[in-house]
Structure 1
Amino acid sequence: MELPLVALLAGSFAVTVLARRTGVSAPLLLVVVGLALSFVPGVPDYALDPELILTLVLPPLLYSAALDSSYLRLRANLRPIGLLALGAVLLTTVAVGLAAWWLVPGLPLASALVLGAVVAPPDAVAATAVGRRLGLPRRVMTILGGESLVNDATALTAYRVAVAVAAGAGYGIAQGLGVFVLAAAGGAAIGWALGWLVDRIRRLLHDGVLESAMGLLVPFVGFVVAEEVHASGVLAVVLAGLYLGHRSPAADPVARLQDRAVWQAADTVLEATVFALIGLQLRAVVEGVGPSVWGMTAVGLVLVLVALVARVAFVFPTTYLRPLARRRADWESPSWRHLAVVSWAGMRGVVSLAAAAGIPLTTLDGDPFPGRAEVVYLAFVVTVGTLLLHGLTLPALIRRLGVRGTESSADALAEAQAQTDAGTAAVARLEALDDGDPLHAQTVTELRSRIEARTNAAWERLGGPIAGGGETPSAVYRRLRRAMLEAEREVFVRYRDQRRIDDEVFRRVQHEMDLEEVTLLRE
């Protein structure tokens, strides 16, 4: 199995590189390539392991997204995020479940609702990737990202209840709702407690490497502990990530730099792998339904339409039919164009397929789980169908509606003002610490110049290009300093190759120069 796994990782990475170079949506291209390869002779059978996906892939992806999310923006948009993550998922569960029950002869209602729960949560990775590339407004991105953090918890909890009913556990409606509420509350509590504990521990460590290493454990610990007590592992991971992301200024700066690089690289590999796996499932799921594949495909396409209509039918009414009694005096109705983009960002992802693959083979009585093969295949059709439909049309919709963010100017102005105030505070602290020693005068002058340069650079970004194509003083500084760093690096490389300095010395100096160069690139 080692060689097929390496081939999967290397192949999905190569497709991701191609997608980035050509400007194509990476998730979409990965799925299409996977579909094309699924029936090629000699391609291994990449069976989807639900435990592997839900325990080792989903937690780090959720945790990384939560770390990078804004707790303040999520709180400000809590209502639309909550409505989508809870209401839209439950409505889609019921709508798709009832449609499948009606369209598939002999499929029990409980099994149909299992299918509804499986395909209910959109995966916002593809949608946010498109939105980031096309410059969607920040509020739209916050809503889509916030929904994707929480909707898996709603869907997986509903899925757990529906599977229990279909397997003969004897759940009633009240008991099912109780399980749902307890799982959500327990997951949120565990996540908050874990985030609080890790934050306290890292303040005691004072070691960036150890803090970063501990952060790698958080998503897995949170997910497994919550699932062990039948709480929502998804909510546990998300709450821990949001807490630690908001408290990140208290962490060691080395840990922050390492965390950003590590999680960005991990996200790239994991997302590429899971989207490739989606396409590679085609052969296995087709074999599962046998001769009825064309009829099931037609049903699946109808369910794609049902899921689409359910999301659109939920987004617009819940926004425009908001009870008048609850409206604030300053409440402003969102643009219908923004709502159209949110309602159309309904791609499903690997969580749906993992949940479908995790349906038990038998009921509690030992009988075959009713309609399992049909549910798995229909989940595949809906997942791939929504990825292809929305992935191919969402960019065109965004461009056609002219939905673009306008925050860049306001961000630049706010940053410049904050940098000015920060520079004033830094100079005041420098003056308080200056002992007046003539030997320190040059150092104090250099520090003052550095603060002035950073402040000037922030204001220069507001001014746009210089007339005649000239460079701003900050741009000249960055260009010249990077050239100087390159010259310094060449000397250290030559000294290392001539064995005049040890590799350990070289790596330490190179790290210091890299940090400065990254800062110059940011400025």
Structure 2
Amino acid sequence: MVSASLLAVLVVSVLLAGIARRYDVSGPLALVVAGLLAGLIPGVDGIALQPDLVLFVILPPLLWSAGLESSYVALRQNTRRIGLLAVGLPLVTTFAVGIVAFHTVPELTIAAALTLGAIVAPPDAVSAAAIGRRLGLPRQIMTLLGGESLLNDATALTAYRVALAAAIGTAASWGTPILTFALAAVGGTVVGWVAGSLIVWVRTWLADPLVESAIGLVAPFFIYLLAEEVHGSGVIAVVVAALILGQRNTRASYATRLQDNAVWRTLQFVLESFAFLLIGLQLPTVVAELKGISAETLAIASAAVLATVIVVRIVWVFAMSFIPRKLSRRIRENEEKPTAAQVFIVAWAGMRGVVSLAAAFAVPLTTLSGAPFPGRPQLVFLTFVVVVGTLLLHGLTLPWIIKVLDVQGDDAHQDALDEAAAQTKAAQAAAARLDEIMAAQRADSDVHQRAASILRHWNDRRSNAAWEQLGRSDDEIGEGPAAAFKRLRLEMLKAERASFVSERDAGRINDEVLRSALRGLDLEEATLDRD
């Protein structure tokens, strides 16, 4: 029974991913290898990947989660570079792979070969981002990889639609591809913006953390389906809506933020684990379709297509990192020049994922004329080779390359400095708010005065705590607080939160620093508001 098999895969994937985390092993690589080995066991078959499961169930929440964690400000500051990676590179890869596949696989027509190119064009930066975070890659590189992974699926899947339509005989004219791309981009953006704005309003109006989180859980599926129904890009729609929600998340209650964070981190872990194990388990299904096909032809085509995917990315990333700087003075003045080592890390982080396999399995068996789809078994096999090949090659070597090239950032220390400076301003805002309240109440009571004194001492301790991590002495920091007056402390927390948001809006701290600071305030408010 397929449903029982998928449930078993889901359970096993989570267990294996948990073991990988326990021993600090790359989860995606461990799961893919485990799937490949399991596929060799007699009797382990019939767990074929269903395209709709990936495109409509797995992909939307993963995009949503990534969009919520992304910084709109950082993405906007890197629009040019992310656009070259997320739009330009998939299109170039589509044509390059299409040409190579057309000349190495006799059964493929040019349209079918371009379909293969679009299928293997979008990298899945999940595993690359996981490695990068663990090894401390600079935030600039992480922003580029994250921005690329958010939007490259939209470009590749739209190119896939166009090439597939030509391959099966539904393309009408040369204007069709242009119209398809325009409709996908505009339709997806409009649907995402309207849906994202509406969800923000509804969640604010409800003011119920449980229901707000529930709406957030179903939103990506609804938005993706709605965009696809109007022939827009479901990927773009989900990403745009998630960015809007993430940017305005400061308006939500502390309970909603804490709950959303826990829910989405868990769901992301489960879905990613499930997807990577599914990749490895496709080996028996892929091999079963190759009966009667020359092994020599497959070997040559596999090597050629895999090499093309890797080389095109390296050439494109290096060219687009340095050529525009030579041609544009504005770019030289406004963008920091990357090092060759940093560029190579981005170029080498081109691992493909489950979306490519889903697109390959979604290729129909026949064309409109009833003839078999040209070279479909080879297309599916080559996709599998590229996905598994890049995951293993890049995944196994990327940590070593990062260490050898010593591409590490000082973001953690800089974040600590920025947060400490922002915390000082937030503490000043909280102290001012406390003074306003005490002056308005004209509190002569000893109890009120003692409570205010304790809160002032606590406020000073919070201000100094951030600097303590940077080497402040105990004499400067002073003793910790005793107790707190709940109502006054909640007012002070509101002032601190507003100050942090103002610092982010003014560009003095980034979104990651803001989230870290807000999480501390949210946890404290949750403790005070337990009843």
TM-score of the aligned structures, taking structure 1 as reference length: 0.88
| 1:235-274 alignment, distance < 5 Å | 235-274=236-275
Aligned equivalent of 1:172: 173
Assess, with a 3 A threshold, how the Cα gap between structure 1 residues 437 and 293 changes in structure 2: closer, same or farther. Answer: farther
Deviation at 1:19, TM superposition (A): 1.2
The answer on 1:27 being equivalent to 2:35 is no
Q: Which moved more, 1:295-304 or 1:87-96?
A: 295-304
Name the structure 1 match of 2:516: none
1:383 aligns with 2:383: no
Query: In structure 2, what is the Cα distance between the partners aligned to 1:96 and 1:324?
Result: 30
8 Å CA contact 2:254, 2:526 repeated in 1? no
**CA shift in 2, pair 1:46/1:437, >3 Å:** farther
Do residues 306 (structure 1) and 308 (structure 2) align? yes
- Write the mapping of 1:20-59 to structure 2, written as runs, cut at 5 A: 20-59=21-60
Is the contact made by 1:161 and 1:179 (CA closer than 8 Å) also made in structure 2? yes
* Deviation of 1:515 (Å): 4.7
Tell me the amino acid that sits aligned with residue 38 of structure 2.
L
Instruction: Indicate yes or no: 2:361 matched with 1:360.
Output: no
CA offsets per residue over residues 164-214 of structure 1, 9 Å max, x none?
000101343322122112111110111111111111111211111111111
Pairing 1:443–2:444 present: no
- Decide whether the 8 Å contact of 1:4 with 1:44 is kept in 2: no
- How big is the alpha-carbon RMSD for the aligned residues of Structure 1 and Structure 2? 2.2
CA distance in 2, matches of 1:389, 1:328: 34
SS at match of 2:371: coil
Structure 2 residues without counterparts, runs of 5 or longer? 484-521
CA contact under 8 A between 1:297 and 1:378: conserved in structure 2?
Answer: no
- How far off its partner does 1:288 sit? 0.8
| Alignment-derived partner of residue 318 in structure 1 | 320
Question: Are 1:418 and 2:419 matched, yes or no?
Answer: no
- Residues 99, 203 of structure 1: alpha-carbon distance in 2 compared, 3 angstrom cutoff: same
Gaps of 5+ in 1: 482-513
Residue 459 (str. 1) matches residue 453 (str. 2): no
Deviation at 1:437, TM superposition (A): 4.0
Aligned equivalent of 1:430, options 418, 434, 437: 434
1:45 Cα deviation from its structure 2 partner: 1.8
Supply the distance in 1 between the matched residues of 2:239 and 2:27 (Cα, whole angstroms): 24
> Which range moved further: 278-287 or 431-440?
431-440
In 2, Cα distance between equivalents of 1:426 and 1:271: 41
Deviations 1:430-470 (A, max 9, x none): 11111114142232223222222211111111118x7xxx9
Aligned letter for 1:390? H
2:108/2:375 contact within 8 Å kept: yes
Which AA in structure 1 matches 2:179? G
Q: Is it true that 1:142 corresponds to 2:150 in the alignment?
A: no
Which region of structure 1 is more displaced relative to structure 2, 401-410 or 159-168?
401-410
Aligned residues: 482
Distance in 2 (alpha carbons) for counterparts of 1:320 and 1:62: 30
Render the CA deviation track for 1:328-377: whole Å, top value 9, x for unaligned. 53543211111000000000000000010111122122222111111111
- When structure 1 is superposed on structure 2, of 374-383 and 444-453 the one drifting more is 444-453
Are the structure 2 counterparts of residues 400 and 244 from structure 1 closer, same or farther at C-alpha, using a change threshold of 3 Å?
A: same
SS of 2:368's equivalent in the other structure is: coil
Instruction: Note if contact 2:162-2:171 (Cα within 8 Å) is conserved in structure 1.
Output: no
Structure 2 length as normaliser, TM-score?
0.87
8 Å Cα contact 1:286-1:293 kept in structure 2? no
Residues 20-59 of structure 1 deviation map (CA, whole Å, 9 limit, x = unaligned) = 1222111011001100010202324211010111001000
Deviations 1:241-290 (CA, angstroms, capped at 9, x unpaired): 00100000001211111100000000111000000000000000001112
Cα deviations by residue, 1:98-132 (Å, 9 ceiling, x for unpaired): 10000001310000000000000000001000000
1:88, 1:314 within 8 Å by CA — same for their partners in 2?
yes
Q: Does the CA contact (< 8 Å) of 1:211 and 1:252 recur in 2?
A: no
2:228 is matched with 227
Match of 1:504 in 2: none
DSSP 3-state at the match of 2:293? helix
Task: Tell me which moved more, 226-235 or 369-378.
Answer: 369-378
| Mapping of residues 63-82 of structure 1, within 5 Å | 63-82=64-83
Paired AA for residue 312 in structure 2: A
CA shift at 1:327, angstroms? 3.2
Distance in 2 (alpha carbons) for counterparts of 1:147 and 1:519 = 38
Structure 1 Cα separation of the partners of residues 125 and 13 of structure 2: 19
Counterpart in the other structure of 1:153: 154
Shift of residue 471 of structure 1?
Answer: 12
Partner amino acid, structure 2, of 1:40: I
Q: For the residues of structure 1 that align with 2:320 and 2:414, how far apart are their CA atoms?
A: 30
Which residue is equivalent to 2:503?
none
Instruction: Kindly provide the amino acid, as one letter, of the partner of residue 405 in structure 1.
Output: G
Which residue number in structure 2 is paired with residue 91 of structure 1?
Answer: 92
Aligned equivalents of 2:41, 2:225: Cα separation in 1: 37
For the residue of structure 2 that corresponds to 1:41, the secondary structure is coil
- Listed one character per residue, the Cα deviations across residues 472-497 of structure 1 (whole Å, up to 9, x for unaligned) are 979x969x99xxxxxxxxxxxxxxxx
Q: Report if the CA contact (8 A) 1:301-1:385 is conserved.
A: no
Query: AA paired with 2:304?
Result: V
Q: Provide the residue aligned with 2:6 in structure 1.
A: 5
CA 1:244 to 1:471, structure 2 compared with 1: closer, same or farther past 3 Å?
A: farther
**AA in 1 matched with 2:453:** T
The alpha-carbon distance between structure 1 residues 368 and 32, as it changes in their structure 2 partners (threshold 3 A), is same
Other structure's SS at 1:123 match: coil
Is the 2:353–2:387 contact (alpha carbons within 8 Å) kept by the matching residues of 1?
yes
Distance 2:276 2:165 in 1: 29
**2:254–2:525 contact (8 Å) kept in structure 1:** no
Matches of 1:437 and 1:253, distance apart in 2: 33
Equivalent position to 1:351, from 350, 355, 376: 355
Matched, 1:191 2:199: no
Moved more, 400-409 or 227-236: 400-409
Q: Is the 8 A contact 1:301 1:382 kept in 2?
A: no
In structure 2, distance between residues paired with 1:518 and 1:139? 33
SS at match of 2:470: helix
Note if contact 1:157-1:183 (Cα within 8 Å) is conserved in structure 2. Answer: yes
Distance 1:240 1:297 in 2: 43
CA distance in structure 1 between the aligned counterparts of 2:80 and 2:305, rounded to whole angstroms = 28
Measure, in 2, the Cα distance between the counterparts of 1:518 and 1:138. 30
Per-residue CA shift, 1:407-427, capped at 9, x if unaligned? 222211111111111111111
Which AA in structure 2 matches 1:307? V
**Alpha carbons of structure 1 residues 330 and 108: separation in structure 2 relative to 1, 3 Å:** closer
Name 2:342's counterpart in structure 1: 338
Return the alpha-carbon distance in structure 1 between the equivalents of residues 480 and 113 of structure 2.
64
